[in-house]
Chain A
């Protein structure tokens, strides 16, 4: 997901994580247009999502498409994490040659992704704070970001293990390819779900934003978001879609845990407050 830096409110985009693309043994592309191509592809995919939404009340579809194309482009060009993901994606594509570079970057990148997801939870909190949207909206969207962090933790653990196997087989192309194939098999289940979450979440937030803006300039800028401006059935359906795909990813995450989650040992102010609240409610 991406935040439009020029805006005060999160402008989510549906991004495919190039960094967790399948590991392939192709030749390293000296394609300096890869970044530009990735931008074009991302814009196209996001415009497709925009067109899947119910027709907006205050704008024509053409107006919106033109505006979004421009804004998404601007956003992606300012998005360092997106640029880095394209770079790592190129290393993944040519893992046999670029293994060192891939592993030198992937862990830091995932760390930044986790921080970004946490920031997205903050952004959605700010949006929810200035709205009368249902609790389910906030809970569903924030959980969809937090589960991605759990996935990234699993990915880090597995890729660390795979890296040892890849290094051990760097002189045996057949075995090396076999390790890649095995890695790609488990990662595919996750990426399919992640893509769906990204798409559904983007559609939900865009639907809320578009139907709460009277002018294009108001999109993704601070304002009070009213549930009354939305078709309740459409809103609930869009929330359900995010919840359903998040639950699917959660199931995969739970099935891929090495051991079950233990109660958190970080007893910070947040944990204390929630447990106090629970006691007060039951008391």
Chain B
């Protein structure tokens, strides 16, 4: 079979996120730099951008309504590197206060506040000992640097081709998969890829770094749903391997399917996509 029977690589959001580990970063960059068909499902794009949006709102609320008033209550109008411990105390008190208050009422959890506090600390450590910076400038710097970072993280999600797929409830509730993969969002992303694969009748390879929920179950996902999942480092090997296969519908119509789960799943696909994959038993 020609490589034309491969639709491409469906990417999990972790592949498009900045990687802190150099080795993982290099592998992802190398994989994404190749001239291959990379795309994301609409569910992944929406989820990632929504999460970034929520992060932005938490960030703004935390800085504007908690950090600034906390510093003002202590009468701190400007800071130098020498004030680091005072600032640390202010944040510590504010976190205790937040913990006492209900997170629903304040709309912010103290650990989120802590994440931003770390950034403020890094800015304070960079200040020169005797050169004060106004609290407003310090926090405005934090806001602008973090919103710029957020903008940079969003870019790959916006520039990559996104495919609108809406898997049916029967696919999303497919019991054998739901037993394996606990995270409902992951099931949605996997099912989007499978649905696209059968609808287009072209193989899809789902690329992720999620060992815990997806990669550790990759054999079962193939056996139950007919979807290949891999790390980016093995993606091109799977690609070469799968080019030898017939197109998905032909492949599953001819191959012996020992797993009852896959037979059951193909039945759902046939019903929902109005397809005939397995020969009818007369």
Q: A261-B159, A277-B59, A281-B54 are in contact. Are A129 and B20 (CB under 8 A)?
A: no
Most chain B C-beta atoms within 10 Å of own C-beta, residue among A124, A263, A264: A263
- Contact string, B22-65, partner A, CB cutoff 8 A, digits 1/0? 00010011001100001000000000000111111111110110
- Contact string, B148-170, partner A, CB cutoff 8 A, digits 1/0? 11111101101110000000000
**Are A277 and B149 in contact (CB-based, < 8 A)?**
no
| Minimum CB–CB distance for A156 against chain B, Å | 17
**Are A262 and B119 in contact (CB-based, < 8 A)?**
no
- Quick one: which of A143, A250, A267, A273 contacts B118, CB cutoff 8 A? A273
Residue of B whose beta carbon sits closest to that of A146: B151
| Minimum CB–CB distance for A267 against chain B, Å | 6
**Are A129 and B136 in contact (CB-based, < 8 A)?**
yes
Query: How many angstroms between the C-alpha atoms of A138 and B142 in the bound complex?
Result: 14
Residue of A whose beta carbon sits closest to that of B146: A270
A270: chain B residues at CB < 8 Å are 119, 145-146, 148-149
Query: How many angstroms between the C-alpha atoms of A275 and B48 in the bound complex?
Result: 11
| Minimum CB–CB distance for A150 against chain B, Å | 8
- Quick one: which of B90-139 are within 8 Å of A by CB? 109, 111-112, 115-116, 118-119, 122, 136-137, 139
Q: Is A29 an interface residue (CB 8 A)?
A: no
- Quick one: which of A146, A274, A280 contacts B111, CB cutoff 8 A? A280
Q: A135-B60, A262-B32, A282-B51 are in contact. Are A129 and B140 (CB under 8 A)?
A: yes
| Minimum CB–CB distance for B11 against chain A, Å | 11
Q: Is B16 an interface residue (CB 8 A)?
A: yes
Query: How many angstroms between the C-alpha atoms of A280 and B122 in the bound complex?
Result: 19
**Are B115 and A271 in contact (CB-based, < 8 A)?**
no
B149: chain A residues at CB < 8 Å are 268, 270-271, 273-274
A257: chain B residues at CB < 8 Å are 159
A265: chain B residues at CB < 8 Å are 18, 25, 29
Q: Is B17 an interface residue (CB 8 A)?
A: yes
Q: Is B143 an interface residue (CB 8 A)?
A: yes
A250: chain B residues at CB < 8 Å are 158
Query: How many angstroms between the C-alpha atoms of A270 and B20 in the bound complex?
Result: 12
Q: A125-B140, A262-B29, A265-B25 are in contact. Are A277 and B55 (CB under 8 A)?
A: yes
- Quick one: which of B18, B25, B55, B147 contacts A138, CB cutoff 8 A? B147
Q: Is A160 an interface residue (CB 8 A)?
A: no
- Quick one: which of A121, A129, A263, A273 contacts B17, CB cutoff 8 A? A263
If over half of B's interface residues share one DSSP class (helix, strand or loop), that class is named, otherwise mixed; here it is: helix
Q: Is B260 an interface residue (CB 8 A)?
A: no
Count of chain A residues with a beta carbon within 8 Å of a chain B beta carbon:
42
| Minimum CB–CB distance for A248 against chain B, Å | 14
Q: Is A79 an interface residue (CB 8 A)?
A: no
**Are A129 and B141 in contact (CB-based, < 8 A)?**
no
Q: A262-B32, A265-B29, A269-B122 are in contact. Are A277 and B115 (CB under 8 A)?
A: yes
Residue of B whose beta carbon sits closest to that of A273: B119
- Quick one: which of B28, B52, B61, B146 contacts A263, CB cutoff 8 A? B28
A121: chain B residues at CB < 8 Å are 144, 147-148
- Quick one: which of A124-159 are within 8 Å of B by CB? 124-126, 128-130, 135, 138-139, 142-143, 146
B141: chain A residues at CB < 8 Å are 122, 125
- Contact string, B258-275, partner A, CB cutoff 8 A, digits 1/0? 000000000000000000
Most chain A C-beta atoms within 10 Å of own C-beta, residue among B32, B116, B140, B153: B140
- Quick one: which of A196-212 are within 8 Å of B by CB? none
Query: How many angstroms between the C-alpha atoms of A282 and B38 in the bound complex?
Result: 25
B148: chain A residues at CB < 8 Å are 118, 121, 142, 146, 270
Query: How many angstroms between the C-alpha atoms of A139 and B52 in the bound complex?
Result: 11
B19: chain A residues at CB < 8 Å are 263, 267
**Are A271 and B57 in contact (CB-based, < 8 A)?**
no
| Minimum CB–CB distance for B113 against chain A, Å | 10
B63: chain A residues at CB < 8 Å are 129
Q: A125-B143, A269-B119, A280-B109 are in contact. Are A275 and B159 (CB under 8 A)?
A: no
Give me 9 other A-B pairs in contact (C-beta within 8 A), A142-B151, A263-B28, A281-B54 excluded: A125-B147, A142-B147, A264-B153, A266-B152, A270-B146, A274-B149, A275-B17, A280-B115, A281-B55
Which residues on B are within 8 Å of A, measured CB to CB? 15-20, 25, 28-29, 32-33, 38, 51-61, 63-64, 68, 109, 111-112, 115-116, 118-119, 122, 136-137, 139-141, 143-153, 155-156, 158-160
Which residues on A are within 8 Å of B, measured CB to CB? 118, 121-126, 128-130, 135, 138-139, 142-143, 146, 250, 254, 257, 259-278, 280-282
Q: What are 15 A-B contacts defined by CB distance under 8 Å? A: A122-B141, A129-B64, A129-B136, A129-B140, A135-B60, A142-B144, A262-B33, A263-B15, A265-B25, A265-B29, A267-B19, A274-B146, A274-B150, A275-B17, A277-B59
